[in-house]
Amino acid sequence: MSDLANKIGGKIPIKEPAWLKEFKTFIMRGNVIDLAVGVVIGAAFTAIVSSVVEDLINPIVGILMGGIDFSNLFIVLFGERKASLDMTRQGGASVLAIGAFLNAVIKFLIVGFAVFWLVRILNRLQPAKPAEPAPPPGPTPTEALLAEIRDELRARRGGSNPPGP
């Protein structure tokens, strides 16, 4: 920087915008960082679930369905059918990718099941929240009657003492 810029920059205070300070406070809160970590772990978990579905479940389902390649289960709506779903799509055909849809449904169910169990376990590990204190009990019928008698006696004496306990 030039000397002129240093002189000007040193004398002109640059005020940080209020929204920037608020953003810094927001981004450094623990739950935002926890959310970011959750997204990263979720992405890794998605890769594992995809492998489980495509490499373990689909072959078993394919065998049970008579040797059908589950990932290549599709219906051509318009265009020429080729050997695989990718080749058919690259040829410009319009397809219903039933196998890909079923893969997505299975992945969703696995992730949902895993998240269900994770939340269930975490809820059990957290300490129980303390119960809210019960509201103080109202006066018993005897106390209410005694308060009425007290108030009546004060009223007969001229009401010089305000009603109270």
Residue 91's SS3 state is coil
Q: Are 165 and 146 in contact (CB under 8 A)?
A: no
Per-residue pLDDT of the chain (165 residues; tens, 9 = 90+): 455 555 555 566 778 888 888 888 877 776 777 888 888 888 888 888 888 888 888 788 778 877 776 778 899 999 999 988 889 999 999 999 998 898 888 888 888 888 788 888 888 888 777 777 878 888 888 988 889 999 999 988 875 555 555
Residue 11's SS3 state is helix
Q: Are 88 and 79 in contact (CB under 8 A)?
A: yes
Helix (H), strand (E) counts: the chain = 7, 2
pTM score, two decimals?
0.50
Q: From start to end of the chain, where are the E strands?
A: 75-78, 94-96
Q: What are phi and psi of 96, to 5 degrees?
A: -100, 110
The closest alpha carbon to 102, from 77, 125, 80, 69, belongs to: 69
Q: How far apart are the first and last CA of the chain?
A: 78
